[in-house]
Amino acid sequence: MNSNKSTQPQYERFTRLNRALHIFTILSFITLSLTGMTLKFSYTGWAVGLSRFFGGFEAAGFYHRLAAFVMIMVFLIHLVDLARLKISSGWTFKDMLLHPNSMWFNKKDWLDLKASLKWFLGQGDRPAYGRWTYWEKFDYLAVFWGMVVIGSTGMTLWFPEFFTLFLPGWVLNVATIIHSDEALLATGFIFTVHFFNTHLRPEKFPMDIVIFSGRVPLEEFKLDRPEEYAKLVENGELEKHLVEPYQPIVIRAIRVFGTVALFTGLFIVVWIIYAMIFAYR
Amino acid sequence: MYEIVREPVRTSLLHKTFIFALTYLLIGWVNPVRLRAQTLDNEQCLTCHGYRSLERIENEESISLYVDRQVFNHSVHNVLSCTDCHEDALPQPGKPGHSPGLQKVACGNCHRVALQQYSMSLHDKRVAGGEELAPMCQTCHGSHDIKPLASPESNVRPIKIPALCGSCHHEGTEVSVRYNIPQDKILENYSQSMHGEGLLKKGLTVSATCVSCHTAHRILPHTDPRSTIAKQNIASTCSNCHTEIERVHQKVIRGQLWETEPHKLPACVDCHQPHKVRKSFYIEGIADEDCQKCHADQEIKSSLDGRSLFVDKTEISHSRHAQTACSQCHINVDPRHDRPCETLTEPVDCSICHESQGEDFRHSIHGELVAKNDPNGPSCTECHGDHSVQGRANPDSPIFPTNIPNLCGNCHRTGQDAAVRYEGAEKDIVFNYIESIHGKGLLKSGLTVTATCTNCHTAHREQPASNPNSSVHPNNIAGTCGECHMGVEATFLKSIHSPMVSQTDERLPVCSTCHSAHTISRTDEENFKLQMMTQCGQCHKEVTESYFDTYHGKVSQLGYTKTAKCYDCHGAHDILPPEDPDSRLSRQNVVETCKTCHPAANRQFAGYLTHATHHDPVKYPILFWTFWAMTGLLTVTFLIAGLHTLLWLPRSFQWKRELRRRLAAAEQAEQFDGNTDEENNEQQ
C-alpha cells in the first residue's frame, strides 16, 4: 500500500453506530458462547479447563450474564436506532419493511437467490447484488430472531424464582433446551456459514474488514454490488457516501481484532464438533 | 437322708459329716465287741493299773502302765471296758492279770473308715516302713484321754490342729530335719495367713486348718494324684469352703475352661501360696527370685533352638505385668525340680487370664492361622510384646492408638506378607489410612479417640469382610461405624437403604459403600462431594445420567460443588423415597428443600424437573419434542446453508480471479488519468 492509495476516497457502507454495535456483538457473543458451552459440553475435559480459566462456574456465570446484558443493550440500541430512522424518515412500519434497503426479504432477494444458484451451477453470470444480499439479510434476521429466543429463555433461567410465580416448573426445562440448542445453532451458524459467506470465501479471504472500517474501496464496491452502485450513481448520491480511508495503523488494529475473533470462533467450532462427535453422551 | 441336702456345692461337707455320724452309730450298735458282755470289770484292770508306779521296762526305758481312772471316766470311751480295746488282756485262768506284752490297740476295729483312710496315707506308709517318727492314731488323738470332738479339751478340735500337726511340722523338729518337705516355716506361715489368723486370732473355728486341706487321716503328698492337694485337685479342695470362688475369678476360671481344661488354669496355690494365703503375699507367687537365678544371665540360651532365655527383670517391673509372678504365666513350673521350668511344655497361654480376648482371638483370622501353625499368624506377643507388655494407655505401648497403624502395617503395609496374600479390593491400606480423615485425625491431630485399625476390625476378633461374623461384613458395618458416629447409625437404619426398611435381594449400600474404607475423607471435601454422585450412580444409573443432563449435574460435572448434588436434595443418611412423607422431597417438604439454595423458591419452582431428559418421549414428551424440533431446525438450517456454501465455493474462486483482472484493468485506466495506484490488495 502506498500513500496514494490510502488517500483515495472510499464508499462508506456502515454507519459508526452499526460498526460499534457489531464490535460489541462480537465481544458479547464470543463471551456468551464460550461461557455457555462450558455448561452445554460439561462432559468434556475441554469444558472443565475452560470453566477453570474463567475462574469457576460462578465467575463464568457472571461473565455470561454480563455479556447477555451487553448484547441486550446492543439489541435495544439497534431498536432505538431503527425507531429513530422511522421517525426521521417518516416511514410507516410497512415502508420500513418494504423499502429497497430494508433488511426484510423482497422480490429481488428471490430473484438473486435463483440467479445465484444458476451462477453456482454455471448457468449464468454473477447476479448484480444490491445493498443487502439475501444471505446477509438471513444472517441479520437469524441473529434478530436468535436474540429474542435465546434472550427470553435466558431471562427465564436467570430469574427462575420469578418466572415460576406464573409458569410451571417444567418450563425451565423447556427453556433450557431451547436456550441451549438455539445457542448451538447461532454459534454454529455464525462461526461457519456467516464466517464463510462474509469473510472466508476466497475473494474476501481472510476477512472482510468493512464491518469494522465501514469503508470499501470504490472500485471494489463497484464490482461487488453493481446494483447499489448503479442506483447511487443514478440518484447522484454517491459523492455523499465517499469518505477518507483510515490510517494503516487503524486498519492493522482492525485486522488483529478480526483475526482474534475469527480464530476464537473457529476454535469454538472445532470444540463443538469434537464434543458432538467424539464425546457425546 | 438326701433331703437335708439343699445346695449341691455343699454336698460333700455335709454329706461326709452325716455319713460319718451314721457309720459311727451303726458300727457302735452292731459291733460284736459292744454286744459282747463285759467280761471283765474295768475295776479289775485298775486294781493294778490304778497305781501310778506301775511300769514296764523296755529297752532300758521305763514305760508307765498307769491309767488315770478320772481321766478315763471323762473320756469318750468311758462306756467301753478295757478289754474292748485291749482284746488280748483277758486274764489267764488261775493267774492274776494278763500275760505281758499286749498287742497295740487296733482303733480300726471300731473306726473302720478312719482306718481305711489312714491306711492309704503317707503316715501309715511310714509306720509300716518302721519309721518311729510316723504318727499313729494315738499320736494325735491320745489314748485313754480321748475326749469327744465337741469337747474343748479334745486334741483334734480345729483350734488345736495347727499346734498338733505343727508339733512335728515346724522348723527344727526331727521330722523337718529328716524329711525333705518342700514347704518351709509351715506353722509360722500358716499362723500369719488368712486362715491362721481367722482361726487363732479371731477364733473362727470354721477357718481352714491343716486337715481342711490335707484331710485328717488320708494325708498324701501333693505329688500323689489322689491327694487333695495334688495340682488337679486343689481347686475342688479349696472350693469345699470357697464354694462360689469362680464368681470372683471370672477371668481365670470362667465357663468351660474351668470344667474342660483345668490344666490350662493356674492352680489356686499358684497365686495363693498354700500356707501364706494372704493378700500381701499374692504378688510374690512362686518366687520370681528363683527364676531369676538362671534367667538373669544374659548368656542363657535355649538348648532346643538357641534363642536367648534372658529375662530382663527391669523390663517386667516396668511392664503392665509388674505385679504378676513368672509362674502365673508360665504355669507348668514344678518347684520340686531343681529347675522348676523343666516341666514347661506349652508356650504361655495369655487367655488363662485374658479369657475373653483369648476367645475372640481364637475366632479371628489371626487365631485361625495360629491354630493351623501357620507362621504368618500373629500370636499375642507379636502385637503386645512379651515381658515388656504395656497397657494401651501407655504411649510407648505398640497398641497405643497412634502406634496401631504401624503395628498392623508391619504385616498389612503394601509389600508386606499379609498385603501380598490379600486378594480383596483394598489397596495401599496403611498409606491410604494415614491420608484418610481417620488417619489424619489420629496421627496429625493426635486425636487418640480417632478410629484406628482395631476400632473397625476389632482388636482380637478380626475377620475378612466376607465372613458374616466380621465387624466389617456389610451387615455389620453400620453397627461398627455407629460405635463412634452416634446417631448416624440410627438415622441410617430408618432410611430406605437400611435392610430393616428395604426388603430386597439387591445389595444395599452400607457406610463404606459411599465413604470407602481406608480412603475415607472429610465429607466437606470437594472430591468427596463430587465422588458421591458417581457413587449413587453405581446403583441409580438412569437418574444419575439424567441428573447430569440438568444444570445442577452439568455444574457438578465441571467440578464445582456449589449446586445441588444427590444428597443435597435426597439427604444422605436419612434418605427416603419421595413418596414417604418424611422424605426431604415429599410434597410438604420439597419447597423447603429447594429453599436451602433458592430462598425465593415456590411451589411451581419445585416443579422443575431435576432429572429431566429429552431422550424419553413417554416420561417427558414436551422436552422430547422440543429437543427434536430444535434439532430439526438446526439440521435443516445447516443443510441448506451448507449446500449453498459448497455450491458457492468454486464460483467464488472464479470470481476472485475475475475481480483481480477487472481491478487491474480499472487501475490501468486510472493510470491513464495520471494515477499510479495499485488497487485493492487488501482483500487479497
CA closest to A208 among chain B residues: B683
Q: Do A209 and B559 touch (CB under 8 A)?
A: no
For residue A229, give the nearest of A131, A115, A153, A137 by alpha carbon. A131
Comparing CA positions, the residue from B443, B445, B444 lying closest to residue B453 is B443
pLDDT band at B262 (very low <50, low <70, confident <90, very high): low
Helix (H), strand (E) counts: chain B: 39, 2
Cα separation, B334 vs B339, in Å, equals 8
| Rounded CA separation B108/B120 (Å) | 13
The mean pLDDT value for B33-55 works out to 69
Chain-chain contact of B559 with A126 (C-beta, under 8 angstroms): no
Nearest CA in chain B to A198: B645
What pLDDT was estimated at residue A13?
A: 93
Counting Cα atoms < 13 Å in the Cβ hemisphere of B493 gives 14
CA dihedral A93, A94, A100, A105 (to 10 degrees): 100
Q: How far is CA B340 from CA B114, B255, B331, in A?
A: 36, 29, 10
Partners of residue B653 in chain A, C-beta under 8 Å: 202
Cβ atoms of residues B400 and B383 within 8 Å: no
Q: Which residues, numbered 182 to 201 in chain A, qualify as contacts with chain B under a Cβ-Cβ cut-off of 8 Å?
A: 182, 184-185, 188-189, 192-193, 196-197, 201
Which of B254-258, B403-407, B548-552 is predicted with the least confidence, judged by mean pLDDT? B254-258
Chain B nearest-CA distance from A89, in A, is: 34
Give the range among B242-256, B564-578, B644-658 with minimum mean pLDDT: B242-256
Per-residue model confidence as pLDDT tens digits over B96-111: 677 777 788 888 888 8
Q: How far does the CA of residue B618 sit from the closest CA of chain A (Å)? A: 15
CB within 8 Å: B607 and A164: yes
Residue A192's nearest CA partner among A117, A275, A267 is A267
- Facing residue for A203 by CB, picked from B553, B622, B659: B659
Instruction: For residue B608, give the 3-state DSSP assignment.
Output: coil
pLDDT score, position A185: 94
Rounded CA separation B239/B8 (Å): 12
pLDDT per residue as tens digits for the range B211-239: 888 988 988 888 888 888 887 788 888 88
Of the partner residues B626, B648, B651, the one whose CB lies closest to the CB of residue A178: B626
Q: pLDDT-based confidence at B3, cuts 50/70/90? A: very low
The domain spans of chain A are 3-277
Mutate to test the interface with B, among A62, A157, A161, A269 (most CBs of B within 10 A): A161
- Show contacts of B115-122: CB within 8 Å, 24+ apart: B117/B215, B117/B216, B117/B217, B117/B218, B118/B217, B118/B218, B120/B218, B120/B220, B120/B226, B121/B217, B121/B218, B121/B219, B121/B220, B122/B219, B122/B220, B122/B221
Q: Could you identify the residue written with the cell 490510517?
A: A247
Q: Which amino acid is at B495?
A: S
**CA of A189 vs chain B CAs: smallest distance (Å):** 7
Question: Whole-number mean pLDDT of chain B?
Answer: 83
Cα dist. A16→A40, A155, A216, B658 in Å? 35, 30, 14, 31
How far A84 CA sits from the closest chain B CA (Å)?
Answer: 33
Higher-confidence residue: B126 or A61? A61
Nearest in space to B472 (alpha carbons), one of B365, B372, B357 = B365
Helix ranges (H only) for B142-185 are: 161-166, 174-178
Q: Residue B284: what pLDDT?
A: 45
Q: What is the pTM of this model?
A: 0.67
**Chain A interface, best mutation among B558, B623, B643, by max A CB count within 10 A:** B558
Q: At B5, which amino acid appears? A: V
Bigger pLDDT: B70 vs A39 = A39
Nearest to B637 among A39, A189, A219 (CB): A189
pLDDT at A209 over 60: yes
Model pLDDT for residues B455-478, shown as the tens digit of each residue:
999 999 999 989 999 999 988 999
Question: B300's torsion region: left (phi>0), alpha (psi -120 to 50) or beta?
Answer: beta
CA distance B181 to B188: 15
Closest CA to B628 of A55, A181, A32: A181
Count of positions (residues) in chain A: 281
Question: For B289-315, what is the mean pLDDT?
Answer: 86
What is the C-alpha to C-alpha distance for residues B499 and B501, in angstroms, rounded to an integer? 5
Q: Residue A23 contacts by C-beta under 8 Å, 6 or more apart in sequence?
A: A212, A257
Find which of A127-136, B126-135, B171-180, B661-670 is predicted with most confidence, using mean pLDDT.
Answer: A127-136
pLDDT band at B683 (very low <50, low <70, confident <90, very high): very low
Can you point out the beta strands (E) in B235-354? none
Question: What pLDDT was estimated at residue B279?
Answer: 52
Cβ-Cβ contacts under 8 Å, B676 against chain A: 4
Grid coordinates in use for B536?
449413587
- Predicted pLDDT of residue A3: 42
pLDDT at A80 over 90: yes
Q: How far apart are CA B80 and CA B38, in angstroms?
A: 8
Q: What is the mean pLDDT of residues B657-665?
A: 88
Query: Confidence band (pLDDT; 50, 70, 90) for B93?
Result: low
Q: Which residue from B558, B623, B683 is facing A177, i.e. has the nearest CB?
A: B623
CB pair distance less than 8 Å for A203 and B652: yes
User: What DSSP element (H or E) covers B170?
Assistant: none
Which residues does B231 contact at the CB level (< 8 Å), separation at least 6? B222, B267
Residue B46: pLDDT above 50?
Answer: yes
pLDDT at B170 over 50: yes
B:154-173 residues touching chain A, CB 8 A cutoff: none
The reply to whether residue A39 touches residue B554, judged by beta carbons under 8 angstroms, is yes
- Nearest chain B residue to A5 by CA distance is B677
B554 and chain A: CB distance < 8 Å anywhere? yes
pLDDT for res B406: 92
Confidence (pLDDT) at B678: 45
- State the pLDDT confidence band at A2, using cuts at 50, 70 and 90: very low
Residue of A nearest to B662 (CA): A223
Q: Cell numbers 503317707 label which residue? A: B122
Q: B333 near B327, Cβ under 8 Å?
A: yes
Please list every residue in chain B whose beta carbon sits closer than 8 Å to the beta carbon of residue A42: 548, 553-555, 557-558
Which one, of B379, B318, B317, B311, lies nearest residue B351 by Cα?
A: B379
Contact A177 B604 (CB under 8 A): no
Query: In this predicted model, what pLDDT tens digit does every residue of B529-556 receive, in sequence order?
Result: 888 888 888 889 988 988 988 999 999 9
* CA–CA distance, B346 with A178 (Å, rounded to integer): 83
Percent of chain B scored above 70 by pLDDT?
A: 86
- The packing angle between helices A16-40 and A45-54, to 10°, is 120
The C-alpha atoms of residue A181 and residue A203 are separated, in whole angstroms, by 32
Chain B interface mutation, best of A116, A178, A181, A222, highest count of B Cβ atoms under 10 Å = A181
Interface test with A, best of B655, B668, B683 (most A CBs within 10 A): B683
CA distance B546 to A86: 49
* Residue reference for cell 465517499: A242
Q: Are B525 and B603 a contacting pair, CB within 8 Å?
A: no
Instruction: Tell me: pLDDT of B66 over 50.
Output: yes
pLDDT in tens, B116-137: 889 889 888 888 888 888 888 8
* A161 pLDDT above the threshold of 70: yes
Of the two residues A110 and B376, the one the predictor is more confident about is: A110
Q: Does B656 touch chain A (CB under 8 A)?
A: yes
C-alpha to C-alpha distance for B550 and B544, rounded to whole angstroms: 10
Q: Is A4 on the interface with B (CB under 8 A)?
A: yes
> Residue A10: exposed, middle, or buried by beta-carbon count in 10 A (0-12, 13-18, 19+)?
buried
Can you count the helices (H) and strands (E) in chain A?
Answer: 13, 3
- Nearest 10 degrees: Cα torsion A252, A258, A259, A262: -170
**Helix ranges (DSSP H) in B121-267:** 122-128, 137-141, 161-166, 174-178, 186-192, 194-196, 210-214, 231-238, 245-248, 250-253, 255-260
**DSSP sequence for A235-280:** HT-GGGGEEPPPPHHHHHHHHHHHHHHHHHHHHHHHHHHHHHHTS-
Residue pair B410/B404 in contact (Cβ under 8 Å)? The answer is: no
Phi, psi of A280 (to 5 degrees): -65, 140
Query: Considering only A46-50, A174-178, B343-347, which range has the smallest mean pLDDT?
Result: B343-347
Q: How close are the terminal C-alpha atoms of chain B, in Å?
A: 134
Q: Say whether pLDDT at A256 is over 60.
A: yes
Q: Rounded mean pLDDT of A234-262?
A: 92
Is A203 in CB contact (< 8 Å) with chain B? yes
In this prediction, residue B5 carries a pLDDT of: 38
Question: What integer pLDDT is reported at residue A1 of this predicted model?
Answer: 39
CATH architecture label of A3-277: Up-down Bundle (1.20)
Residue carrying C-alpha cell 446453508? B641
Nearest-by-CA chain B residue for A61: B555
Q: A48 touching B, CB under 8 A?
A: yes
What is the count of residue pairs from A and B with beta carbons less than 8 Å apart? 167
A87 pLDDT higher than 60 = yes
Helix (H, G, I), strand (E, B) or coil at B478: helix
pLDDT at A28 (0 to 100): 97
Q: A130, A135, A106, A105: which is closest to A120 by C-alpha?
A: A135
Number of Cβ within a 10 Å radius of residue B19 = 12
